[in-house]
Amino acid sequence: MFTHLSQRQAHLIEKMDAANADSEQLEQTYADFYTLNRWVSQWNRVYAKYIRPHAKEIQKQGKIFQVLDVGCGGGDIAFFLFQWLKKDGISAHITGIDIDNRAIEWAKANRSVQPETARVNKKRLGEINFSTTRQSGQKHPYILIHPQNETEAILKSAFTELSPNNIKYGYEVTSYRDNGDHLVVYSHKVPHSTENQLTETQEHRTPILIACDGKNSTIRSKAGIPYRGSPYPDSYAMGDFPDPEYPQSPPFVYITSEGLVESFPIADQKRRWVIKTEHYQSKPQPKWLSDAIYERVGERPNADSCSMISSFGVQHHRAALRQKNRLFLVGDAAHVVSPIGGQGMNLGWLGAWQLAKDVKILYGKGVLYKPSENPIPLTSYSTNFDAVVTEVARRAHWNMRMGRKSKLQWLKQLFIQILLYIPVSSRKLAERFTMSNLPTK
């Protein structure tokens, strides 16, 4: 037996109207109406054929076009109408009513229409459950957000315990020389003021040299290793604001019509906001960033309490070699990927971990101090880690593309919603963000 959808059976109660309806499923249903009504009901055609002509006639009479949406549910129809009317330059007053208070409360929290702007506010596309990465052997199914200064303190403490008094601060490495069975590194002490003269050059003999001196690596330049790549056209702005919620809510990623917005908790009860910008902002201001966030997602961080704000561009580079005899390049000196997705620093950690294992093997074989070992054998870090760099760069590029402004934003949102809904693809996304299943050897 087929149900005739053209005939309404008034005695039946929809599941979503039941008093005991599952709250999570109900909220997801309200959110899904945004996509379903656009595709199935095709309200854009109804608007173009019937509503817009009538609204224009009302406007010609010097009146404000008024709409009453009865049974508004999650408010998506009212939201669509406001968008289209505003785009056509038609002033309107739209009211939505619903007998179910749950629908009204959801619409208040997730649909917001201001006199000057219309936006989707916190439309939930889905969530990423990192616990699913256990299926792919991930021992730590989570993302750890840890302050850089505390991370550096931990590393310094561990190094000092293993090798006391061997960290030297205030020195600048200027060059190095490869003598075959060892390297000579040249440095000088950096003066505390411009009035002081540079100290005499010092020489340090070492069996290997690991250069972690960043994208503009002096050592890489002195070694003559090409660093190929280019900047992306994308730019971003970010700022740290107080987080009024305690405990802090989890990270959020917003895919908006104006571009990506990221929000995640950091130390000291703060929250970092990152937005995609149309152009690079040379001197971003807290109020500008706060207003931009509000326009896109309906949240307005306290601009007066912003503790950090900056803009940045993104780029991709890769050194032609990560190992040149006894010289190794690690971190940004070896590769730079887009930071969107937070995988750049993690890639540096992975490379350092692989190289540490390789150096341990070389040391165990006794080749580091053998004059006859020139050049020393190529390491796994040198020969195999390139596949990891390629995969991480590909993932970071994908994350960045998903956050770009698009004319078919609704299609992108639908695509992401489907990915998050299907268990297999949702797990793959979780693996992307936790850097699981990389081609390490």
Tens-place pLDDT, residues 303-321: 999 999 999 999 999 999 9
Tens-place pLDDT, residues 386-398: 999 999 999 888 8
Predicted confidence at residue 114, as pLDDT, reads: 39
Tens-place pLDDT, residues 399-436: 888 888 877 777 877 888 888 888 888 888 888 777 77
| Contact yes or no for 273/238 (Cβ under 8 A) | yes
Average pLDDT over residues 86-94: 77
- Helix runs in 256-320, H state only: 286-297
pTM above 0.85, yes or no: no
What share of the chain has pLDDT > 70, as a percent? 88
Predicted confidence at residue 249, as pLDDT, reads: 77
Q: Report the alpha-carbon distance of residue 377 to residue 208 in Å, rounded.
A: 12
Task: Indicate the pLDDT class of residue 19, thresholds 50, 70 and 90.
Answer: confident
Q: Report the alpha-carbon distance of residue 261 to residue 403 in Å, rounded.
A: 8
Q: Report the alpha-carbon distance of residue 105 to residue 380 in Å, rounded.
A: 57
| Contact yes or no for 141/431 (Cβ under 8 A) | no
- Prior bond to 375 cis, omega within 30? yes
| Contact yes or no for 72/96 (Cβ under 8 A) | yes
- Helix runs in 370-422, H state only: 380-383, 385-402, 409-421
Predicted confidence at residue 385, as pLDDT, reads: 95
Residue 50: pLDDT over 60: yes
- The third-level CATH classification (topology) of the domain covering 168-226+320-405 is FAD/NAD(P)-binding domain (3.50.50)
- The third-level CATH classification (topology) of the domain covering 229-315 is Alpha-Beta Plaits (3.30.70)
- The dihedral through the CA atoms of 36, 296, 239, 338 has a sign that is positive
Owner of token pair 């405990």: 247
Residue ranges covered by each domain of the chain = 23-120, 168-226+320-405, 229-315
What share of the chain has pLDDT > 90, as a percent? 35
